Amino acid sequence: MARRSRAREVALQLLFQWDQNPTPVPRKAIKTFVRDRLLADAEMEAYTLKLVDGVVARKEEIDENLKAAATNWRLSRMTPVDRNVLRLGTYELLFDTTQPPLEVVINEAIELARRFGSEDSPAFVNGVLDRVGAMKKEKGKA
């Protein structure tokens, strides 16, 4: 598994935990979790923490974009895995300063959905993130 893919997987695990239990977790415990799972790869640890911190900091904006893109779906009705894969992907599409290509973000999100979600998760994640990407392009033209 590629290093960034593994970093995204660990970020998803942290976001899932945060979604299920929003009680603040000590930063030291989060860093230990990340370090242990990424085998002390400092660059990927920093990348994982950047993703998690970015999603947490921009949750409201991310969720608003997801509500607009996921027509006929309330966030509360999505499975926790799908919801957090979508949050991670939306963060990367809209707010990540490294601006990974749309195709990379969607493919990575689909792989996470395939690994951790339901049978329908990959197609659902693909459709919603494709719409988020289209909305971003529309805003860019305005």
Res. 89: pLDDT tops 90 = yes
DSSP result, 70-139: STT--GGGS-HHHHHHHHHHHHHHHT-TT---HHHHHHHHHHHHHHHS-TTHHHHHHHHHHHHHHHHHHH
Taking CA atoms, 125 is separated from 33, 98, 121, in Å, by 26, 22, 6
pLDDT, mean of residues 8-22: 95
Is the pTM value of this prediction over 0.85?
Answer: yes
What confidence tens digit (pLDDT) does each residue in 91-141 have?
999 999 888 899 999 999 999 999 999 999 999 999 999 999 999 988 875
- All domains of the chain in start order, with CATH: 3-141 (1.10.940.10)
